[in-house]
A and B are shown apart, each in its own frame.
Chain A
Amino acid sequence: MNQDIYVLIEHLQGEIADISYIMLAAARDLAESTGGQVVGVLLGHDAQGLADDLAADQVFYADHPALKEFASDAYLKTVASLIQERTPRAILFGNTTIGADVASVLSARLSLSLVSSCVKISEGKLISQICGGKIMAESELDENTTLVTMIPGGYKTEAGQSDAPPAIETFDAPALDDLRVTLKGYVEPETGDVDISKEEILVAIGRGIQVEDNIELAEELAEFLGGTICASRPIVDQGWLPVSRMVGKSGQTVKPKLYLALGISGAPEHVEGMAGSEMIVAINMDPNAPIFDIATYGIEFDFFDLIDPLLEQLEDA
């Protein structure tokens, strides 16, 4: 076994996903304690160029038509053969729709240990965040190659980017036939009225707003601030706002100047989409809400009680 830390680079429709940079940054932390290198594992088809800005010491690249876009079987076979061949110290996956489909299966297939929901790595310790961000768990690498799935929140994407393209080593994918999973195509989301990922000011609402009527108040506030409203998943699931307004894991990733979180508890799935905001102001009734761990300013209050005096003062201002 070598001491290198591998990172399964995720990309979608020709673009590297942010989680890949985050993992590279985390892998750097881990590699420092193991004394190995950071290696990006890139699977694709005519996608070598995607490796250009990866902050890795090296990138292993496999090219195959079946690897053009993600489909679990082809990825599994390729990554499994790579691990078996090269036995890295650890390999990081995103705890995402791509990485999570691969990591657990590999754990069972190769009898390797798996640590999931890791948010930060320091001094060789893997810190996982569970229970909606309310519990932290610390573990160490197993004696064999350890599989890790990562969630955003502990690293900035910039830390995983580099101006100098890494060295690329191509490797052959194994025979990719008898695939049981195939991609039929993508369905683009309905384009919303606004692109929240480009907004500078966002007023975000979560489960804590309780009733649909309160959305109007949030909208009014957003208007004052020259921004727009977005939401966490429960609000969209209720059908109160369109999918185009969803922030988080299956929604948009946003990086506004101001993210005003109303009644959002701050579950990791949501935080993933907004942790990169310049300033986060959170209003929540639950003093233990994890959102207060990442917010710049926190207010323990019922939003509904606060909104009226706030709107009044805004009117005066």
Chain B
Amino acid sequence: MPERTNYWGIPHTWGEPETFVYIIMFLSAAIMLFRFYKRASLWWQIGRPEARWDKIPQRLWLVVKYAIVQTRSLRQRYPGIMHAAIAWSFFVFFLGTALATVHDHFFEFLHGNILIVYKFTLDIFTIIFLIGAGMAIYRRYQEKPEKLTYDEGFTRTLVLITVIVLTGLFTESLRLAAERSGISAWSPAGHLLAQLWISTGATEKALTNWHLGAWIIHLLTVAFTLITLPVSTLLHALTAPLNIFFSKLDRPIGALAPTATTEDDEPIFASKLSDLTWKQLLDADACTECGRCQDACPAFNAGTPLSPKQLMLSLRESFVHNGTKPVLTGEAIPEDVLWACTTCGACVQECPVLVEHIDTIVDLRRYLVIEGMVDAELQTALMNLGRYGNSFGKSERMRARWSKGMEPKIKNANKEAVEYLWFVGDYASYSPTLTEITKQTAEVFQKVGLDFGIMYKGENHAGNDVRRVGEEGLFEMLAEKNMKAMSKADYQAIITTDPHSYNTLKNEYPANGGQPVLHYTELLDQLIASGALRFSKKLDYKVTYHDPCYLGRYNGVYDAPRRIIEATGCEIVEMPRNRDCALCCGAGGGRIWMEEGEIEERPSESRIREAVELGGVTDFIVACPKDVTMYRDAVKTVGAEEKIIVKDLIELVYEAL
């Protein structure tokens, strides 16, 4: 029966090897923890307090899902497998070492078959690790994707962990070579390598000496890696699980936190490191520099100065040197970086360690707004919103002008009870180019016999993007006005045209009697399912569908619009970036009101090109009024008028009715 040999071939010249190992490992671990504590204490020494200790089981589950299983990381095949191969191997090695300790001191169980399984597993993971490391080397030194950080720290880490695993393998294989043990075949990698050592014709003595050398290097490398971990790129092995554990659970992704206040109820407008919470600093320290956020970021890809990754690194750089670089806005983080964000959520969606970029961006924007540091176009929009409740600077009495001449007249939900309160939104109400679409929406509602009404001048801009611009006070004011108007209405549910309104009404407005908020695509989908909406025509267009950020990523509505499109008889061809990977049109987060600035390729243009490249798709279907505006412009600027038409989903429905 195979037995585990402890410290095989390690001389006892200076006493029990075990004692040395424990002393070295204990010291290394202590140094590591001390250094990590020093680093981590910056978070709460600099950052403000924030309660994130609730819902422990749920938090632990997140750690399992994202830190251990690494589902986010695995969304991308190559880097996902690469990282999992390395990380899981180390989990196994760590576990293996821990089990060996248990076996040695507490409970002997590594005998016979258990030992074989144990050894086999460790050995297999050695191979898995080597595959992962090989992939990493290929990726970092051959493929060289732009999103990675090319810093020698990463090389150092890769060398260290590879040395640890290789010396471990050498130790094992040299022992096997010296022992010529019969069960060595259960350690296939060790066994193979042992054959190599044997073939050198080295004596048992020589093999034992080599083994000792490998063992010492292995031990010291592990110790060194531990000691340097808090200052190396391996720091993420600690910060990432912590960041995942402390990720935001108190609100849906579509809800921003209100401006924080001091104990004296003074608002905190974040401009310095100390205005951020410890979790926001932890975010920066948890960043693994994988660059997925940057790859997905429409602002970065458009050539604006914003890279969500760089933002986190600037933040990290800033607080690691706290005292010299504590001012963020305009210094560590330039204003144009903050203004470039469309708040599309792609970075947050992609981040394997759940960094919350947008919350920090909005916090910093709030400071810029309070200091009046906004560009002229944005200022005009905000002033119009403050005065007229819409960004167009038109009278509120003109809000429902689009409905002029409609028969029957659309009910005023502030005057009579309706089943559905239709929150039309600014763009659908005021933009002259959208009047036709808004009318068609109303006509579709009328044709399916929906009992609905609008609030006419009682409706104000819902405030989703006002809030994301960082103008929290204006958001509150708009929300109060809308809440007041809605409280006067008698309705069962709210329908919105605009996904942005939808998001804020659903996730950020205080629950108003608990009536559900639906996007019109959700409503139509329900009506189709219940048979209330039937199409008389079968359209046979080949179309593609663009997921609006605030409908898809923020609220998970992916299928309803697709089912409607299919019900009209159209065939959907998906763009490569679809559903939660959809590219933002560039209008969100208040960008639609700002000066465009230097830009290489507008996100909307990139998107239209993506659709055109599908070949044979005639219609580009959207479900957001801003998308109609953005993409119709983009079709013109890329000169694709002959190839593709931008249509709101409601236009298909209207046509097929």
Residues of A within 8 A of B (CB): 211-213, 238-239, 285, 302, 304-305, 308
Contact B376 A238 (CB under 8 A): yes
With a cutoff of 8 Å between Cβ atoms, the chain B residues found around residue A308 in the complex are 636
Q: Does B433 sit within 8 A of A, measured CB to CB?
A: yes
Q: How far is the CB of B586 from chain A (nearest CB, A)?
A: 13
Q: Does B595 sit within 8 A of A, measured CB to CB?
A: yes
14 contacts between A and B (CB under 8 A): A211-B377, A212-B377, A212-B595, A212-B596, A213-B596, A238-B376, A239-B376, A285-B432, A302-B432, A302-B433, A304-B433, A305-B432, A305-B433, A308-B636
Complex alpha-carbon distance, A285 and B398, angstroms: 13
Complex alpha-carbon distance, A42 and B475, angstroms: 58
Within 8 A of A (CB), among B424-451: 432-433
Complex alpha-carbon distance, A212 and B376, angstroms: 11
Q: How far is the CB of A47 from chain B (nearest CB, A)?
A: 42
Residues of B within 8 A of A (CB): 376-377, 432-433, 595-596, 636
Complex alpha-carbon distance, A239 and B596, angstroms: 15
Chain A-chain B contacts (Cβ-Cβ < 8 Å), number: 14
Which chain B residue shows the least CB distance to A240?
A: B376
Tell me the dominant secondary structure on chain A's binding face. loop
Complex alpha-carbon distance, A238 and B376, angstroms: 7
Tell me the dominant secondary structure on chain B's binding face. helix
With a cutoff of 8 Å between Cβ atoms, the chain A residues found around residue B595 in the complex are 212
Q: How far is the CB of B395 from chain A (nearest CB, A)?
A: 11
With a cutoff of 8 Å between Cβ atoms, the chain B residues found around residue A239 in the complex are 376
Which chain B residue shows the least CB distance to A302?
A: B432
Q: A212-B595, A302-B432, A304-B433 are known contacts; what are 11 more A-B pairs with Cβ within 8 Å? A: A211-B377, A212-B377, A212-B596, A213-B596, A238-B376, A239-B376, A285-B432, A302-B433, A305-B432, A305-B433, A308-B636
Which chain A residue shows the least CB distance to B392?
A: A210
Complex alpha-carbon distance, A304 and B392, angstroms: 15
Q: How far is the CB of A110 from chain B (nearest CB, A)?
A: 40
Complex alpha-carbon distance, A316 and B636, angstroms: 17
With a cutoff of 8 Å between Cβ atoms, the chain B residues found around residue A285 in the complex are 432
Q: How far is the CB of A224 from chain B (nearest CB, A)?
A: 17
Complex alpha-carbon distance, A302 and B596, angstroms: 21
Complex alpha-carbon distance, A302 and B636, angstroms: 17
With a cutoff of 8 Å between Cβ atoms, the chain A residues found around residue B433 in the complex are 302, 304-305
Which chain A residue shows the least CB distance to B636?
A: A308
Complex alpha-carbon distance, A308 and B596, angstroms: 21
With a cutoff of 8 Å between Cβ atoms, the chain A residues found around residue B636 in the complex are 308
Q: How far is the CB of A130 from chain B (nearest CB, A)?
A: 19
With a cutoff of 8 Å between Cβ atoms, the chain B residues found around residue A212 in the complex are 377, 595-596
Q: How far is the CB of B124 from chain A (nearest CB, A)?
A: 59
Which chain B residue shows the least CB distance to A305?
A: B433
Q: How far is the CB of A88 from chain B (nearest CB, A)?
A: 44
With a cutoff of 8 Å between Cβ atoms, the chain A residues found around residue B377 in the complex are 211-212
Complex alpha-carbon distance, A273 and B376, angstroms: 26
Q: How far is the CB of A79 from chain B (nearest CB, A)?
A: 41
Complex alpha-carbon distance, A305 and B633, angstroms: 10
Q: How far is the CB of A52 from chain B (nearest CB, A)?
A: 46
Q: How far is the CB of A206 from chain B (nearest CB, A)?
A: 13
Complex alpha-carbon distance, A285 and B394, angstroms: 11
Q: How far is the CB of A218 from chain B (nearest CB, A)?
A: 15
Complex alpha-carbon distance, A238 and B380, angstroms: 11
With a cutoff of 8 Å between Cβ atoms, the chain A residues found around residue B432 in the complex are 285, 302, 305
Complex alpha-carbon distance, A305 and B628, angstroms: 14
Q: How far is the CB of A115 from chain B (nearest CB, A)?
A: 30
With a cutoff of 8 Å between Cβ atoms, the chain B residues found around residue A213 in the complex are 596
Which chain B residue shows the least CB distance to A285?
A: B432
Q: How far is the CB of A135 from chain B (nearest CB, A)?
A: 17
Q: How far is the CB of A82 from chain B (nearest CB, A)?
A: 46
Which chain B residue shows the least CB distance to A234?
A: B380
Q: How far is the CB of A287 from chain B (nearest CB, A)?
A: 11
